[in-house]
Amino acid sequence: MTNRGAAPVANRPRTTHARRQPRRTPSWWRDLAAVLCWASVLVVVALWVSGRGVQTLLNGPADLFTSLGRLSGLVAADLLLVQVFLMARVPMIERSYGQDALARRHRLVGFWSFNLLLVHIVLILVGYTARDHNNLLRETWTVVTTYGGMLLAVAASVALTVVVVTSLRVARRALRYESWHLLHLYAYVGVGLSVPHEIWTGADFTTSRLAQVYWWSAYGVALGAIVLYRVLLPVWRTLRHGLTVREVVHEAPGVVTVTLGGRGLHRMPVRAGQYFVFRFLDGPGWSRGNPYSLSASPAPDRLRVTAKAAGDGSSRLARVRPGTRVAVEGPYGRLTAERRATDRVAMLACGIGITPLRALLEELDYEPGDAVLVYRAHSVEDLVFRDELDQLARRRGITVHYLLGPRLRGRASWLPESAASWSDADAVRRLLPGLSQYDVYVCGPDRWMDAACAAVLAAGLPANQLHQERFSW
C-alpha cells in the first residue's frame, strides 16, 4: 500500500474554481413515479371489476378460470408497459432513481409481468377447455389458429420469453453486452405484437369505452416516451452539439481515453459522475451504443471518457480515430454532487471505477484537506490517471491512498493481500478517520463494491452518505 498525502492545509487559500452548482432533483419526483405505476395497476383492476369480473367468478369453474385469466393478462400487459416506460429514459424517472435502481425495478417488473402472462395463458386455456368440454391440447390449437390476433400473440410471447431468459443472471454473464442489448429490443416487438390480440379478442377492450380510452392512452404514453426520449432527444443533441473525436490516448494496459469536442456543451445538462451512451460513426457496428462515464469534469467545448477493453464496444474504442463523428444519448446517472450531505468527500475506487470519481474530484467543491481518494489496483502499471491524480492532489489538497497488490484470498474483501492483517471495517477507519463527516462515493467491479460498501457501513458511515451507482447489465 502506498500513500500520498495532501499538502499541509495551513496558509493554503480556499480554491476559487468556477463550479457548476448542482441542480437538485425534487424528492417528490421519485414518489410520483412510484404512485403513477401503482395507480396504473389499480386502474386495470378497477376496469376488470367494472366489467363484471367479480360476478363472473361465481358462474362456475369455466368462468372462474377465464375471469382470473383475464385479470392476470390485463395486469401483465400493464406491467409490460410500465417496464417499457421505466427504461424510456424519461428525465424525471432517470434523475430520481439512477441507472442501477431503475435496472433493478425494470427487471423485477419484467419478471412479474412475464409470470402473470404465463398465468394468463394457463387459466384462459383451462377455462376455455372447461367451457367447450374439450381436451387441453385440442382447445389450445383451436384458440391459436382461429381467434383473432392469436398467432401474433404467440409470437409476442416468444419474443418476451427471449428477453426474460437473457435477463437471468447466468445468461447475462454468458452474453456480451452488445448481444444482450440487441436481444432486449425484442421487448418492443413483444409489446407491439400483443396489441392486435387485445383489440380483437380482449373482452375488456371490446366491451368497455373506459377500458379502450385507458389502454390506448397507456400505449400512446409508452410509445411517445420511447420516441421522444430514446430517439428524438438523442438525435437533437447529436445534431446540436456536433461531437467529434479530438484525441485518443492509451492510459494503461487495455485502457483508452477519448477526448470529444463539440459546440455549446455548456448548454448540455451534464455533471461530473454521469455517463453517456456513445455511438462512434466510423463504419460497420456504429449502431451499437456503449455506456461510458466521463473521466473529467465536463467543459464548455470538451467531454472526456475512459474505458477498459471488456467487449466489442470498448475494444473498438481503442481503434477510433480523431475526426470521427459521434452520436450521443444522455447524460444519465445520479453519482453526482447533488447527493452530497456533508462538506467532506471520500472516493473509493477500484480499477476502471476511478473514471467517474476522478471527474467528481475535479468538479466537487471542498476545502483543501477535506477530500480523500482510496484507489485499489493490482499494480502501479494498472493505476489509471496516476500523474493526473497526483497533480490534482497537490493542487486541491487531496489525500491519496494507493492500495496495490493482488486481491486478498480467503475472504470477500475490498483490500489487497498486503492489508490482510486489517479487517475491512478497520481499514476504512484507518484510511478515513472521522468517517461520519464524509460523503463516500464508491465505484468499481460489483463484488469489490459489495465489500467496500459493507465495510464503510460497518465502520459507522450513515447510509445516506454512501453513494454508488452500478453499471452492470
pLDDT value for 11: 33
Task: Compute the average pLDDT of residues 85-92.
Answer: 85
d(CA 93, CA 25): 10
d(CA 172, CA 167): 6
Confidence band for 18, pLDDT divided at 50, 70 and 90: very low
- Check whether 356 has a pLDDT greater than 70: yes
Termini Cα distance of the chain: 32
pLDDT value for 284: 76
The residue ranking higher by pLDDT, 302 or 165, is 302
How far CA 387 is from CA of 121, 252, 302, in Å, comes to 61, 12, 20
456 with 442: CB under 8 angstroms? yes
Three-state secondary structure string covering 58-71 = CCCHHHHHHHHHHH
Task: Compute the average pLDDT of residues 64-71.
Answer: 91
What proportion of the chain, given as a percentage, has pLDDT over 90?
41
Q: Provide the mean pLDDT of the chain.
A: 84
200 with 215: CB under 8 angstroms? no
Write down the pTM of the prediction.
0.81
Confidence band for 93, pLDDT divided at 50, 70 and 90: confident
3-state secondary structure of 473: coil
Q: Is 460 left (phi over 0), alpha (psi -120 to 50) or beta?
A: left
Find the range with the poorest average confidence among 84-93, 141-150, 259-268, 386-395: 141-150
- Check whether 193 has a pLDDT greater than 80: no
What proportion of the chain, given as a percentage, has pLDDT over 70?
85
Task: Compute the average pLDDT of residues 290-316.
Answer: 83
Task: Compute the average pLDDT of residues 54-81.
Answer: 89
Confidence band for 206, pLDDT divided at 50, 70 and 90: low
* Most confidently modeled range among 189-203, 246-260, 448-462: 448-462
The residue ranking higher by pLDDT, 434 or 161, is 434
Q: Could you give the domains of the chain? A: 2-21+336-468 (3.40.50.80), 27-236 (1.20.120), 242-332 (2.40.30.10)
Task: Compute the average pLDDT of residues 231-244.
Answer: 95
**Residue 224: how many other CB atoms lie within 10 Å:** 12
Residue 416 carries which DSSP code?
B
- Check whether 403 has a pLDDT greater than 70: yes
Query: Virtual CA dihedral for 404, 405, 407, 408, nearest 10 degrees?
Result: -100
Find the range with the poorest average confidence among 76-90, 151-165, 195-209, 313-327: 195-209
pLDDT value for 17: 39
pLDDT digits over 99-119, tens only? 778 878 888 888 898 899 899
Amino acid at 125: L
Find the range with the poorest average confidence among 82-96, 181-195, 232-246: 181-195
